[in-house]
Amino acid sequence: MLIGENTMSEFGRNVKKTRTLIIPFGTVEAHGDHLPINTDTLIIREVIKKVAEKNNVYMAPPIQYGVCTSTSAHPGTLGITTQSLRLIATDIVRSAYAHGLRNFILISGHGGSLHVSALREVAENLTQELDKVKIAALSIYELLGKETQEIIETKGDSHAGEAETSLVLHLAPKLIKGRSKEEYPRMPKPIAVKDKDKLKYWPGAVWGNPQKASADKGEKLFKVMVEKVEELIKRIEKLR
């Protein structure tokens, strides 16, 4: 069920049937020259929408802005701070809790470490604050295991590479503009470089090989994602 498409009366009835709300988090972030800037939001939105259609759970409208550090200097990336992300995630959960929802999945289509860490901090704090609440906070990619390795050929594939390109080929092929070349960041260690230097080390905003992507791989990966989220829902709803 899509919470944003309910009337208030429908919500009042449906909240008696489910106590679970999934909140998708995306980004406005550069994804090479071939993928749209809203790639993270697009993928997680469609995965959770499919989950909500198949299961007795609520999906919240996606949060389209996230914490983007490595791509902050790339054209098109519009990021927010960890503080902003924590505040909006906290407010949404508190508000939903006040209306009777008790199980929350804060799930991100973006795997940035600071971004996901901020969501986990929210989950930890609210678990201590709210009675009988259950919260999971994670990136969708943390749920994937050997099934992904059987689909994706590129070792170390990550940002705007084979996996994400395949998913967009499956979900929204008209948004793809050709294919960026294979690329892997040459970031120095530690990766505490100034924003102006990041383009020098990672000019194309691609981490992997988009050339190996296909709609068929994207369809298979999408199915695995949906199944993994469904398994997560069952685990959370069984907790006491």
Amino acid at the residue 146? K
Looking at per-residue pLDDT, the higher value among 196 and 31 belongs to 31
- Give the largest Cα separation in the chain, rounded: 55
What's the CA gap between 198 and 194, in Å, rounded? 7
- DSSP conformation class of 109: S
Q: Tell me, which fold does domain 3-238 have in CATH?
A: Rossmann fold (3.40.50)
pLDDT of residue 152: 96
pTM: 0.95
DSSP for 175-194, please give it. Answer: G--S-PPPB-----SS----
Percent of the chain clearing pLDDT 70 (strictly above): 96
Rounded to the nearest 10°, the torsion over CA 10, 16, 18, 24 is: 50
Q: Which two tokens stand for residue 61?
A: 């409208």
Query: Tell me: the pLDDT tens digits for 38-63?
Result: 999 999 999 999 999 999 999 999 99
User: Are the CB atoms for 187 and 201 separated by under 8 Å?
Assistant: yes
